[in-house]
């Protein structure tokens, strides 16, 4: 079910309004979902919602907020920062009265330290950037243009960079170069191997896998039982 | 969470084939049987519709993670991506940098 949620601006100006997908029936267990980013967000969107449906069927509420600049957001992605997204994740946790967090891939870099929960196949900032920059250099080479990863990163740090169609600002790139997901107390990593199949973010086209959605939901349902 | 390479440098030929074929099937969403049938001359980049530039980036990143190797910009050329044999020879050279390879 679709709702909206608001992120108050730091300067007290009008709050940003963002989309929220939620299964909220006022139940005791309330899981904040922090989705994968960028291209992986598209590839994992259906999988993510399929996990939420399974949690709902098991009596667990879940909340999937759009971060500013992502999915349906009207905020420019290029203006977003890692700190801003961490703040948004913290505000989301409070707004929805979340009791747990399920952070997916790069979303693990935003997991609020105060919530117990899970990091599913967490992705670090340097690896995320490396993959996106590599896709750009390979595409450039096919087009007969010579770009190196080092040159692109230098441009990214000073001016921002468009990678795979995603326009990242300089502050975001600089922050991602050193950002690592960290398991806070009560948070556990879930490796892809535990889901019994290859990660769906690897696919060239978005796909789904009911068995993997079952496996991830079951880990959470059993932990909350 | 750091990712532990699934295999290390000491890898026999059959195990390398199996790991590399599984990796390609995982990344491209191929039927494992199709990937298991790859031989040295099987075409990859430019032959498999699933393997576009984004998928190549994913494939190389996954190779880094699973094989515990680092792939530089200059390593990536048409020859290593054109056939399964090319990719395999590249992986072997990265895993055993001090050994000669065919």
What percent of chain A clears pLDDT 70, i.e. is strictly above it? Answer: 99
> For the residues A62-89, what does the mean pLDDT come to?
96
> For the residues A166-193, what does the mean pLDDT come to?
97
Contact B52 A204 (CB under 8 A): yes
Q: Tell me the nearest-neighbour CA distance from B54 into chain A, angstroms.
A: 5
Contact A189 B55 (CB under 8 A): no
Partner A contacted by B82 (CB < 8 A): no
pLDDT tens digit sequence for A139-150: 888 888 989 999
* pLDDT for the residue B101: 47
Contact A199 B26 (CB under 8 A): yes
pTM of the model: 0.88
Cβ contacts of B57 on chain A, cutoff 8 Å: 131-132, 134-135, 138
Contact B29 A137 (CB under 8 A): no
* pLDDT for the residue B87: 96
Q: Which of A144, A198, A200 to mutate to test the interface with B (most CBs of B within 10 A)?
A: A198
pLDDT at B59 over 70: yes
Band (pLDDT 50/70/90 cuts) for residue A46 is very high
* pLDDT for the residue B78: 81
Structure tokens, B80: 């290593």
Contact A203 B53 (CB under 8 A): no
Only one residue has tokens 């491209």, namely B28
Residue A36 to residues B46, B67, B71, B79, B86, Cα–Cα distance (Å): 29, 24, 24, 33, 33
pLDDT at B89 over 80: yes
Contact A135 B28 (CB under 8 A): no
Residue in chain A nearest B4 by alpha carbon: A191
* pLDDT for the residue B1: 45
* More confident call, A105 vs A135: A105
d(CA A184, CA A219): 18
* pLDDT for the residue A157: 96
ipTM exceeding the 0.90 mark: no
**Nearest to residue A204, comparing CAs of B71, B31, B17, B54?**
B54
B57 vs A131, A189, A199: nearest CB: A131
Q: A39-43 long-range contacts, Cβ below 8 Å, gap at least 24?
A: A39/A132, A39/A164, A39/A166, A39/A201, A39/B54, A40/A105, A40/A106, A40/A123, A40/A201, A41/A70, A41/A71, A42/A206, A43/A200, A43/A201, A43/A203, A43/A205, A43/A206, A43/A207
| Residue B14: burial class (beta carbons within 10 Å; 0-12, 13-18, 19+) | exposed
């Amino acid at each position: 079910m679709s709702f909206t949620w608001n992120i108050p601006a730091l300067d007290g100006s009008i709050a940003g309004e963002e989309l929220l997908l939620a299964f909220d029936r006022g139940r005791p267990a309330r899981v904040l979902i922090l989705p994968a980013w960028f291209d992986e967000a598209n590839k994992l969107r259906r999988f993510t919602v399929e996990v939420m449906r399974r949690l709902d069927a098991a009596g667990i509420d879940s909340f999937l907020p759009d971060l500013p600049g992502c999915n349906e957001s009207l905020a420019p992605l290029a203006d977003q920062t890692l700190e801003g997204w961490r703040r948004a994740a913290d505000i989301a946790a409070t707004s929805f009265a979340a009791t747990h967090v399920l952070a997916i891939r790069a979303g693990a870099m935003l997991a609020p330290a105060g919530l117990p929960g899970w990091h599913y196949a967490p992705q670090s900032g340097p690896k995320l950037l490396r993959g996106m920059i590599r896709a750009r250099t390979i595409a450039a080479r096919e087009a007969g243009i010579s770009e190196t990863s080092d040159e692109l990163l230098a441009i990214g740090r000073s001016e921002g960079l468009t990678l795979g169609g995603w326009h990242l600002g300089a502050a975001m790139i600089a922050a991602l170069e050193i950002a690592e997901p960290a398991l806070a107390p009560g948070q556990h990593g879930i490796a892809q191997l535990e889901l019994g199949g290859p990660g769906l973010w690897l696919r060239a086209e978005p796909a789904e896998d009911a068995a993997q959605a079952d496996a991830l939901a079951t880990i959470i349902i059993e932990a909350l039982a | 969470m750091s990712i532990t390479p699934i295999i290390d440098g000491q890898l026999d030929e059959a195990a390398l084939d199996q790991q590399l074929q599984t990796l390609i099937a995982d990344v491209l969403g191929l039927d494992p049987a199709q990937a298991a049938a790859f031989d040295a001359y099987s075409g990859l980049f430019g032959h498999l519709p699933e393997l576009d530039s984004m998928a190549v980036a994913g494939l190389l990143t996954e190779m880094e993670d699973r094989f515990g190797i680092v792939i530089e910009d200059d390593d990536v050329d048409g020859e290593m991506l054109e056939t399964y044999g090319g990719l395999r020879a590249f992986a072997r050279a990265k895993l055993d940098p001090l050994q000669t390879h065919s």
